[in-house]
Amino acid sequence: MSLNLQKRDRKYGGTIMECIQAVPCELPIDAVGLWQIAPAGRHRFGLSGADLTEFVSRCVAELLAHGAKPVIGGAGTEYDWIYQPQYGETNEEIRDAVMKEWLSAGAPDCDPGGLWFALPSPYVGNRE
């Protein structure tokens, strides 16, 4: 792929690689939403097209590599987050399914009510 991992953030100066590596740092505190990832690539680094797709894919892969699972908000349940098993079992299956869904929706900046990634915990329930 052609993504320049050394490209600098327009506002903060860090590289794309540093940004990707930092994405899972939030996981011990809170889930990370897809709505946070796409706009970071688009607005902070000026990415579009294949470069934006690779950025989002690498961020999702990094979250999964750190143990995160796809979830949605658990409003109206006893859980903060509800695990979404339909994306697959392996990290690669999950990443591929998330990317396919995101791209088929037009690669949007997403909605905060959409897909997130969270570490398994007592606050994450199984989808019924």
Helical H segments across the chain, by residue range = 16-22, 34-39, 49-65, 91-104
CB 37 within 8 A of CB 45: no
* DSSP symbol at 3: -
Residue 39's nearest CA partner among 55, 28, 18, 24 is: 55
Pairing state of beta strands 116-118 and 69-73? Answer: antiparallel
pTM: 0.90
Q: How confident is the model at residue 127 (pLDDT cuts 50, 70, 90)?
A: low
Q: pLDDT confidence of 9, banded at 50, 70, 90?
A: confident
Q: Is the pLDDT of residue 1 over 90?
A: no
**What confidence tens digit (pLDDT) does each residue in 43-95 have?**
999 999 999 999 999 999 999 999 999 999 988 888 889 999 999 999 999 99
